[in-house]
Amino acid sequence: MIDLALELLRRFLREHPAEAARALESVSAEERADILADEPPDSAVQVLRALSPAASAEALQGMEIRSAVALLTRMPSGPAAQRVMRLSWATQEALLSAVPAPWNKNLERALLTPPHSAGAFMTRHAPALPEDLTVGEAIEHLRRRPGQLSFEIFVVDRAGRLSGRTDLAEIHKSPTVRPLTGLMQPKPASLALRTPIRSLLHDPLWQRYDTLPIVDPSGLMLGALAHRALRARAETKDKAPAMLASPLVDASDLIWSGYAAAVDVAVAVLHRPEDEDGA
């Protein structure tokens, strides 16, 4: 019976990777890592790419290095870097050392950001929820990762490309069955990963937004940049060398300045009753 259940699971993963990804997002990170590590890499990587950015990074973080390498080397360098950016420093270094040449050079190049660019200042753990979730499912995603909460919530497709933005207040007041796409702003403004910082300091976009998503040339969302963080750090990092993407998050960057009630909204979302319909 166990063998039959495993065979059914593997067939489901192979034939329906997007649906399998949604199912795996509801299990623990450890279970997710074990299931994908046991699956043949060619089918597991399809599921990994369909997972939300946070869930896919958690799976990689929980695998043995050789299993993570087998999946990453089956991905283009951009999507691979999108996930590696969210890993711990130790895991990043171990992966870069373990992946074969010349693929490791491609990944390292994708992870490097010029010292005066938007990528050097961005928060790598900015919340990015898949666009096919309902509000209730989005709340569950946020509950599992309270350390990554921010007032701004970005929305991505299953390939990790930016598709919209919303915020905790909208999520909190919406019915749990409502699609996330129904309350997001589509085609949001964004910043290119390598945009020079000095050209951004007085960009008119900051008159409308406090935080902007950062994307690579293919549209993959890699992080987010807060205007106040940009102002505070621009001078101190002026002489910094090119660096690998840091997985660390400054807690002060997690709250949208100008919204003093953001913490209260976050707490309300995390403790929203399961049976509330938002009506």
pLDDT at 48 over 90: yes
pLDDT at residue number 267: 57
> Residue 14 corresponds to which tokens in the numbers above?
């192979």
For residue 236, name the pLDDT band (cuts at 50, 70, 90). Answer: low
Q: How far apart are CA 254 and CA 263, in angstroms?
A: 9
pLDDT at 254 over 50: no
Which amino acid, one-letter code, is at 60? L
pLDDT at residue number 255: 38
pLDDT at residue number 102: 83
What are the E-state strand segments in the chain?
112-113, 128-130, 152-156, 162-167, 185-186, 191-192, 211-215, 221-226, 243-244
Write the pLDDT tens digit of every residue in 176-229: 999 999 999 999 999 999 888 888 878 888 888 889 999 998 899 999 998 887
Using alpha carbons, list the distances in angstroms from residue 142 to 119, 138, 147, 274: 24, 6, 9, 14
pLDDT at residue number 5: 61
pLDDT at 274 over 60: no
What is the arithmetic mean of pLDDT over 123-146? 89
Q: What is the CA radius of gyration of the chain?
A: 19
What is the arithmetic mean of pLDDT over 17-28? 89
Write the pLDDT tens digit of every residue in 33-43: 999 998 999 99
Write the pLDDT tens digit of every residue in 68-92: 999 999 999 889 989 998 888 889 8
More confident residue, 119 or 261: 119
List the end-to-end C-alpha distance of the chain, in Å, as a whole number: 44
Task: Lowest mean pLDDT of 59-68, 175-184, 235-244, name the range.
Answer: 235-244
pLDDT at residue number 170: 92
Mean pLDDT of all residues belonging to the chain: 82
Q: Which domains are present in the chain?
A: 2-111 (1.25.60.10), 118-270 (3.10.580.10)
Q: Phi and psi dihedrals of 124, rounded to 5?
A: -80, -20
Q: 61-71 in b/e burial notation, b at 16+ Cβ within 10 A? A: bbbeeebbbbb
What is the percent of the chain where pLDDT is above 70? 81
pLDDT at 4 over 80: no
